[in-house]
Each structure stands twice: as C-alpha cells, then as structure tokens.
Chain A
C-alpha cells in the first residue's frame, strides 16, 4: 500500500491496482505524474534500515545532490537539521564522515528517517519502521515520530496493534487489500464499527 503512494510499485513487475490516490489535487496513479518530484514530496522509510554504502553525511545529502543541490553550507545545515529532527544528532555529530554501516540498527533506522527529512517532504511513509528494532530503540523512534507529527503528515504501517493504538491520530484497517474501516485512532481501537475490525483488534485473528 505504502509503495503505491509514491509509485515505488513501478519497480515491481506485476501489481494489480485499482482506485485513485489524490495528493494535493493530483492523482498519483496517473501515468503522467512526475514520479521523481512525487517521491521527493512523499518520503518513505522501510522496515529494515537500508543505509547507502557511504558516509553518514553522504547518506543525508544524497537526495539533495540528486536534485542538483551543490551549496555546501546549505547541505551542512540540512545535515544538522535533519539529524536533530530524527534525534540522532547528539549521537553522531562527531563522526559524520564515518561509514553509515558502522551505526547500530536503531541508529541506522533513524538515519533513514533523517535522510527522508532532509528532503523536506510533505508526507512520510513508514513501513513497520520498528520491526527490526529492540524495545528501547523502538521507544526512541516512536518518540521522534511523535514530535514530527506536528510538521509532517505521517503514514505508518504499524508493527503491532499495540503500536498502532499508541501512536495513531487516525487509523485505517485493511484486509486482503481492501479498506475496511477508517476512523480516528481512539475510536477504531476502542469502538470499531466493523465486525472484522473488532475481531482483529481484539486478537481473534491476525
């Protein structure tokens, strides 16, 4: 679902799609959409952290450099800003030129988040961003996300029902590729309208 929102599905061979996705008055699935610009506007963080095989700094500036941005001071400012926003600055500010793979799993995942933030997107897609992390790192990432909600629209595929209940403002329940229910988070988890949602939330299947 998430990969559809920024057309990363284009890379996979066979995907059946129907329906429409409207972001800022444009239909994302329209073949004429400028996917490059779309992907800059709609950032994504994957389940497993994938740091590019470069230094920490290069990981952060990569997206901007692709867009042709060469201004050193601007790039450096962006590195600091996005690392701070992802709550990683204090941990890595003295080793920005180390290879990114030298970071721990939780740090790598927050670096991936910072890398998306560096592009100043409007929407951030998160695909089970904490599934590979231990509870402490998960807590840090969730706290970071909490702060970011004030400035960005965040779409998160949760790792568990508990996580969804913990962090969501609005929640949607999908089953077999179909949207079953969409409601404010509190309502969906405490008082679901659809029987299937209720069964899932209460752990009768899943």
Chain B
C-alpha cells in the first residue's frame, strides 16, 4: 500500500467519523426539539396558572358569567365522567383482552376482532361524539347526560385498554400456564390465580393511560354530555354536567372578557389532573419492572 493510498484511507475513516458525529448531533437535536416544547408547556401553564389557584378555586361555583369564582362543577363533572368511563370500559376491555390473549383461536373471527379494535383506535374523537349523539343521546333517549358521555368515552377508551392489557397478559410466561394446568387447574383458575396477578401492573398502566385520555377529551363529550354552564352540580347519571376540558374550551373561545388568569388556572388544573394520572402509571410500571420475578 503506497503512502497516498494509506492517506486516502485515513481521510475516508476520518470522514466517516465526522459524518457520524454530525448525524448523531442532528438526531439528538431532533429529540431535543421534540421534548423541549413539552417541558415548556408544562412549566408555562403552571407558572401562569399558579396565581389563580386557591382553595376557593376548587370549591366554589363559577360567578359573574364564569369570569370569577371557582371551577368546582367542571372538576366534579370530569371526575364523574372518568369514573363512569372506567366502570364501563374496564370490565369490557379487560374481558376482550383476556379473550384475545388466552382463549381466541387463530381464525378469521379473531382476525376480524383485531381489525375492529385497530379501527376503533383510529376513529377520530369527534366521530365518536357523533356516534354517541346518534345512539345514546337520541336513539336510546339517554339525553345529554353523564351516562351518554361516559358510554361514548368508554368506547373511545376501549382499544387502548384492550391492546395494553393484552400485551401485559401475553408477557406472562406460558410455562406458568402449563404448570397450573398440569396441576389440575381449569383454564379460568389459571387465568385468575396466575396470569391476571402477574399481568396486573401492566393492565393497570393501560387502564390509567386510557382514562387519562378520556379525562382530557373534549370532542366526544361536546354533544353527549357537556354543558356550557350549570348553576348546580349533577345529581344523577341522567344529568348533563360541565367538564374541565370543555370548560377550558368555553372560557378560552366563547366568553368575551374572560380574565386570562382564570383561563390559565383552569388549564393548570386540567394539566395536573392528566399529569398525575400519567405519573401514577409510570410509577406502577417501573416498580413492577423492578420487582418482576421472571
């Protein structure tokens, strides 16, 4: 090999190193750009919303055309809706996940179920709103009510719960199932005593992430439950209710002369609601990962 060949070779290697360095920097920068706004959004909303937060902000009804007072009915409404959604979507979603992971044979029907779930996951939230309006509000005559809203949100949440729960169930080693069956267990006993407890953290994470989405959604509740303003709290599942995300929409676009502080305060409450659910999910997942025995 001549000197110039070696020199060329050396330059080529240097060039490759440089390309790699530039490339990695670029990718890192992209990741930074992706993440930075999240930090900014969270910090900014809490910083601007903080002055509005007080005890009465959580416990009082809105006053003066919502330009003063608290946001109690919106908070209560979102709690109602989140709980209602959970009551409907958790058993249904978990059941479907167990079916797909433990029982379903590999056939055309199972594939159809999977395709249905994939489609559910992709349907725009506002279309869920239309569906809820058509089926629950009008056809079944539930009216604009917590019941109709919860059902709509629950159906929207289903695919999230099903797919995360199924993944968690499948992650349980199949040898546990075989041993349990070999000791004379029925299939349901095996699921109940071995598979479900082992998959529980993953299932919980999925449920919380699904409910987090439901709690923050506006479009599905627009025509099924959300009220612009109500002077009292809902007293049954057939009442309409205010809700945090819809309230934020209303006070940021529909009410002229709205004090900016209350807007940011409401945004901060909504954000902390969603963030705390997210945090709980993250904690459950990482703790389970650390404790896992397989």
Contacts and interface: CB of A to CB of B under 8 A. Distances in A.
Interface of A: 6, 8, 11, 13, 36-37, 39-40, 43-44, 46, 48, 50, 52-53, 62-63, 66-67, 99, 101, 112, 115-116, 119
Contact of A52 (B106, B180, B184, B186): B180
B179 A67 contact: no
B179 A50 contact: yes
B139 interface: no
Contacts of A67: 184
Interface in B242-269: none
B42 interface: no
A48 B184 CA distance: 19
Contacts of B182: 6, 8, 39, 43-44
Contact of B183 (A11, A13, A48, A62): A62
Interface string B170-199: 000101111111111110010001100110
A115 B184 CA distance: 12
Contacts of A112: 179
Contacts, number: 62
A175 B199 CA distance: 41
Most chain-B Cβ atoms within 10 A of its Cβ — which of A13, A36, A115? Answer: A36
B109 interface: no
A11 B180 contact: no
B181 A39 contact: yes
Given A52-B194, A53-B293, A101-B293, A37 B184 contact: yes
Given A66-B189, A99-B293, A50 B175 contact: yes
A66 B294 contact: no
Given A44-B182, A52-B179, 13 more contacts: A8-B178, A8-B181, A11-B177, A11-B178, A39-B183, A40-B183, A48-B175, A50-B175, A50-B179, A52-B194, A53-B198, A53-B294, A67-B184
A115 B175 contact: no
A46 B175 contact: yes
A53 B175 CA distance: 11
Nearest to B194: A52
A66 B183 CA distance: 8
A201 B189 CA distance: 44
Interface string B207-244: 00000000000000000000000000000000000000
Contacts of A50: 173, 175-176, 178-179
A62 B294 CA distance: 19
A101 B175 CA distance: 14
Nearest to B190: A66
Most chain-B Cβ atoms within 10 A of its Cβ — which of A43, A66, A67? Answer: A66
B178 A63 contact: no
A40 to B, nearest CB: 4
A36 B197 CA distance: 22
Contacts of B197: 53
B78 to A, nearest CB: 37
A39 B293 CA distance: 27
B180 A40 contact: no
B181 A62 contact: no
11 contacts: A36-B184, A36-B185, A40-B184, A46-B175, A48-B175, A50-B179, A52-B194, A62-B185, A66-B180, A66-B183, A119-B183
A39 B184 contact: yes
Nearest to B189: A66
Nearest to A67: B184
Interface in B93-144: 106
A50 B174 CA distance: 10
Nearest to A41: B184
A36 B194 contact: no
B17 to A, nearest CB: 46
Most chain-B Cβ atoms within 10 A of its Cβ — which of A11, A39, A48, A53? Answer: A53
User: What 9 A-B pairs are tightest by C-beta distance, nearest first?
Assistant: A63-B183, A40-B184, A50-B175, A66-B185, A39-B184, A101-B293, A44-B182, A53-B293, A50-B179
A43 B173 CA distance: 20
A53 B176 contact: yes
A52 B181 CA distance: 12
Contacts of A36: 184-186
Contacts of A44: 182
Contacts of A99: 293
Most chain-A Cβ atoms within 10 A of its Cβ — which of B106, B181, B197? Answer: B181
Contacts of A11: 177-178, 181
